[in-house]
Amino acid sequence: MSRLRSFGSRFARSGIVLAYHDIIANDETPYLYAVRAATFIRQLDAVAALGYRFDSFANVAADIIAGRSVGGRAVVQFDDALVGVIRHAAPILAGRGIPWTLLPVTERTGVSPDWWPEARGVTRTMTRPEIDEAFAAGAELAGHTATHASLPGLSDARLHAELHTSRQVLSDWSGREVLDLCYPFGHTDPRVRVHAARAGFRTGWTFTNGRCAPGDDLFTLRRLAMHENVVSSLLWRSLLRPAWSWPTPVDHDPGFARPDGHGGYTTDPEENQS
* pTM metric for this prediction: 0.87
Any domain includes 201: yes
The angle at the Cα of 254, spanning 250 to 258, to the nearest 5 degrees, equals: 90
Count the Cβ atoms, other than its own, within 10 Å of residue 7.
14
Q: Is 84 a residue whose pLDDT tops 80?
A: yes
78: domain CATH number?
A: 3.20.20.370
Any domain includes 146: yes
- For residues 216 and 219, what is the distance between their CA atoms, to the nearest angstrom? 9
User: Which CB contacts under 8 angstroms, 24+ apart, belong to 62-68?
Assistant: 63/214, 64/203, 64/212, 64/213, 64/214, 64/216, 64/218, 64/221, 65/202, 65/203, 65/218, 66/214, 67/214, 67/215, 68/214
**Higher per-residue pLDDT: 255 or 143:** 143
Any domain includes 5: no
Any domain includes 16: yes
Stretch 151-170: mean pLDDT: 97
- For residues 226 and 136, what is the distance between their CA atoms, to the nearest angstrom? 25
Any domain includes 115: yes
> pLDDT category, 250, cuts 50, 70, 90?
confident
Any domain includes 264: no
Q: Are the CB atoms for 147 and 162 separated by under 8 Å?
A: yes
Average pLDDT, the chain: 87
Any domain includes 262: no
Domain that holds residue 45: 12-252
Among the residue ranges 2-6, 97-101, 139-143, 207-211, the one predicted with the least confidence is 2-6
Stretch 76-105: mean pLDDT: 98
Stretch 32-43: mean pLDDT: 96
Q: Looking at the 3D structure of the chain, how many domains does it have?
A: 1
Any domain includes 7: no
